Homo-oligomer: A and B are copies of this chain.
Amino acid sequence: MFNAQPIGFIHSSYRDPADIPKGLGAKHEAVGEIELLAEFAPGLADIEGFSHLYVIWEFDRAVGFDLSVRPPTDKSRAHGLFSTHAPRRPNPIGLTVVELLGRDGARLRVAGLDMLDATPVLDIKPYLSSIPEQKLRRGWLAEAEKAGKAGKRE
Q: Which A residues fall within an 8 A CB radius of B?
A: 1-7, 40, 42-52, 54, 56, 58, 67-68, 78-85, 89-93, 95, 97, 120, 122-133, 135-143
Contacts and interface: CB of A to CB of B under 8 A. Distances in A.
B138 A80 contact: no
A82 B130 contact: no
A42 B68 contact: yes
18 contacts: A1-B3, A1-B5, A1-B120, A2-B58, A3-B4, A4-B4, A7-B91, A43-B81, A49-B137, A50-B137, A56-B91, A56-B93, A85-B128, A91-B123, A93-B122, A95-B125, A97-B131, A126-B141
Contact of A139 (B3, B49, B143): B49
B131 A130 contact: yes
Contact of A1 (B6, B84, B93, B126): B6
Contacts of A68: 42-43, 45
Contact of A50 (B4, B49, B83, B125): B83
Given A40-B90, A133-B130, A139 B2 contact: no
